[in-house]
Amino acid sequence: MKQKNIDNIIALSNDLRWQIGDEFHDNLAEGIYADAAEIVKVSVHKPNGDNRLRLDAKIDKIITSKTWGFPLMFLILAVVLWLTIVGANYPSSMLAELLLNTIHPALKGYASALGLPWWLDGFLIDGVYMAVAWVIAVMLPPMAIFFPLFTLLEDFGYLPRVAFNLDHLFKLSGAHGKQALTMSMGFGCNAAGVVATRIIDSPRERLIAIITNNFSLCNGRWPTQILIATIFIGATVPASFAGIASLGAVIGVAILGICFMFLTSWALSKTVLKGEVSTFNLELPPYRPPRFWKTIYTSIIDRTLIVLWRAIVFAAPAGAVIWLISNIHIGDLSIAAWMIDSFDGFGFLFGLNGVILVAYIVAIPANEIVIPTILMLTVLVTGISGGAGAGVMFELDSANATGEILRAGGWTLLTAVNLMLFSLLHNPCSTTIYTIYKETKSVRWTVVASILPVIMGFVVTFLVAQVWRLFA
């Protein structure tokens, strides 16, 4: 009985729909707008005419102009990165001093006073503690600078304009215009970038944004790029240009990453993730003076600390593994040495070496510990003096000293260039992989997102190595 009445209602609605014709939607919308106009006429007064947005319009004309839009965007990106990199140096070295040079020896002291066996003290303090300490010292300061800067730009209203400027390129590559926002976020942290893709409605375009986020050079990888560029690229030019050359190389790698992002987005949208580009309305919000302290507070609570905590959770076991493989011996060599030996030939093909590959395998959890691990492993296998013992990650105060160790380990300019490329193009860190799984709920796409960049990394470094050797 009830069912019948509902059918009646639906039938009636169908009849009525025929009667009033298909302009219903438009008529309704028009009616609403007419009402709105009447109400506004009575209650809203603009004594000085409609001069609002005049300043906004002026700013927009420059920021979104064809001529100035892109240069301004790169300039702002460069300034943000520069502030992050330079500004992070001091707190980073202070944290390193505290965590690595003060607390670490103190802990070792307590451990020996307590009479802990060497393996327990090594495993816990040299392994787990050092990895966590490294991650905090290297990761916290740049994030605490980058995320607030990013949030200030967001609050000011700049980010939607970036999306507006890049929309055309994203459309060409078959991706969503809002990917510009998640991509920028990735420069801070890929895991945060992956979470940010929630703003993209279409599942197809969201997947593209997730898979390609890793091509944004995250702040765990900036230090690697900068250090290697300073040591090897800076050295190829006269000393007075060294700074500019190495900075140029780093920015170049970041832009290369953006190119790979577009290329991969395009390839995905033409193959496995075929589909139409969805249109979307992005209202350019008014420029607003950001609320400085509030913004800084929320961005540190919301983004920095959450991301840092996740990184620590993943880095701790990695530290344990690194210590174990350097201290467990099979025959007369440690596991690490065995691994490096067996990867050396493979690494040569790609202009890399066994140390780099092993470092990238064990340092999956956090990109921050790649360089300390590489140094430790290089010292381990070359037997040169330096470092703090097997399985203890370290970094040297001066780039020169680091360069000497690396050159003693057989590093050349090619190794450096390819390490920079491989640092850009390799699997996401395990924090990001885990985040991708949580966001996509799909093992398949998580695997694709993890494997695809490594494959590209191997292809690119292989080609570079072959061409290099042909001409060098």
Partner 1 sequence: MEVKPKSACDTCAHFNAAGLKKLGVDTSSFDHVIALAGNPNTGKSTVFNALTGLRQHTGNWPGKTVTRAEGGFEYNNEKYKLVDLPGTYSLLSTSEDEEVARNFILFGKPTVTVIVVDASRLERNLNLVLQILEITDRAVLCLNLMDEAKRNDIEINTRTLARDLGIPVVPASARYNEGIPELIQTISEVANGSIVCKPHRIKNIPKNIEKAVEDLSVEILKEYPDMPNSRWIAFRLLEGDQHIINLLRTGEFEEYIS
Binding site for partner 1 (CB under 8 A): 2-3, 5-6, 8-10, 12-13, 16-17, 19-20, 24-25, 27-40, 42-48, 51-53, 151, 154-157, 159-160, 178, 181, 198-199, 201, 281-283, 285-286, 288, 290-291, 293-294, 297-299, 301-303
How buried is 7 (Cβ within 10 angstroms: 0-12 exposed, 13-18 middle, 19+ buried)?
exposed
For the record, the structure tokens of 385 come out as: 């003096």
Cβ proximity to partner 1, 42 vs 443, nearer residue: 42
Q: What angle do CA 333, 376, 378 make, to 5 degrees?
A: 70
Cα(310)–Cα(318) distance, rounded to whole angstroms?
13
Cα(355)–Cα(225) distance, rounded to whole angstroms?
17
The three-state DSSP-derived secondary structure of 422-437 is: HHHCCCCCHHHHHHHH
Alpha helix positions (H), 271-412:
292-299, 305-327, 335-349, 354-362, 370-382, 399-408
**Minimum distance from CB of 147 to partner 1 (Å)?**
10
**Minimum distance from CB of 17 to partner 1 (Å)?**
6
Q: Hey, is 326 helix, strand or coil?
A: helix
**Minimum distance from CB of 24 to partner 1 (Å)?**
6
**Minimum distance from CB of 401 to partner 1 (Å)?**
42
Cβ–Cβ < 8 Å for 210, 305: no
Closest CA to 200 of 175, 218, 217: 175
**Minimum distance from CB of 8 to partner 1 (Å)?**
7
The three-state DSSP-derived secondary structure of 206-271 is: HHHHHHHHHHCCCCCCHHHHHHHHHHHHHHHCCHHHHHHHHHHHHHHHHHHHHHHHHHHHHHHHHC
**Minimum distance from CB of 297 to partner 1 (Å)?**
6
**Minimum distance from CB of 206 to partner 1 (Å)?**
11
Cβ proximity to partner 1, 49 vs 117, nearer residue: 49
Cβ proximity to partner 1, 156 vs 338, nearer residue: 156
**Minimum distance from CB of 305 to partner 1 (Å)?**
12
Q: What angle do CA 149, 278, 287 make, to 5 degrees?
A: 30
For the record, the structure tokens of 99 come out as: 């965590």
Cβ proximity to partner 1, 22 vs 397, nearer residue: 22
Cβ proximity to partner 1, 160 vs 457, nearer residue: 160
For the record, the structure tokens of 120 come out as: 């327990």
Cβ proximity to partner 1, 326 vs 435, nearer residue: 435
**Minimum distance from CB of 11 to partner 1 (Å)?**
10
Cα(215)–Cα(424) distance, rounded to whole angstroms?
7
From residue 434, give the alpha-carbon distance in Å to each of 138, 170, 313.
Answer: 21, 26, 12
